[in-house]
Chains A and B, each alone.
Chain A
Amino acid sequence: DTAVSQTPKYLVTQMGNDKSIKCEQNLGHDTMYWYKQDSKKFLKIMFSYNNKELIINETVPNRFSPKSPDKAHLNLHINSLELGDSAVYFCASRQTGQVNYEQYFGPGTRLTVT
């Protein structure tokens, strides 16, 4: 069973469109994250949710809206896509309170905006 899964794996779309990426974890973790990794492999946090509550909200355009329907899911909706949104988006999860702070990453969603 995949611990952290994302759909879709690849997404090619045109500028101006609205798209969503879904993330699910079956690890029973209470915290989930979205990261963006650009073409130079720079990985930057966008959002984190703990038990469906927004904890971290970095300087991200408000075209990006995360939604957590329950603690096993964290989706990312992007409005009015721009060329600069092209990147790999990773979802991750962890359980707070664990001594070994390990985040489990999903396989990534490669978004290409044309």
Chain B
Amino acid sequence: EDKVVQSPLSLVVHEGDTVTLNCSYEVTNFRSLLWYKQEKKAPTFLFMLTSSGIEKKSGRLSSILDKKELFSILNITATQTGDSAVYLCASLNFGNEKLTFGTGTRLTIIP
């Protein structure tokens, strides 16, 4: 069965800190790894990573995939209170293109 594990489960830091969120996967027919941010309601898409070693960046957020070691990290620099959310990673497989989500990391930024 496909498995996606995120760590830590929760993280509390002060505004301005840099955080690294981890996502490891064991998935058959792996195609890509996606990151989502979930605040109060629906998850919103952040990144999709398909190739190893190529960093994707959006403002203070960046992410990279290692297909040899089967993990991805999401970095957030100079954190702000608006970054407080649950961050979800998900593996996408070929074939039926199913997303398998991890358990999520709850990030809390203290002002």
Contact = CB atoms under 8 A, between A and B. Distances in A.
Chain B associates with chain A = yes
Interface of B: 32, 34, 38, 41-45, 48, 86, 88, 90, 92, 96-101, 103-104, 106
A83 interface: no
Interface stretch (A11-19, A38-46, A66-74): A38-46
Interface in A17-34: none
Nearest to B32: A101
A42 B104 contact: yes
Contact of B43 (A55, A56, A105): A105
Contacts of B88: 41, 43
Interface in A65-106: 90, 96, 100-103, 105-106
Contact of A45 (B32, B34, B45, B100): B100
Given A41-B106, A45-B99, A48-B98, A101 B48 contact: yes
B87 to A, nearest CB: 10
Contacts of B86: 41
Nearest to A9: B41
Contacts of B41: 107-108
Contacts of A56: 96, 98
Nearest to A4: B42
Contacts of B101: 42-45
A100 B41 CA distance: 22
Contacts of A40: 103
A42 B104 CA distance: 7
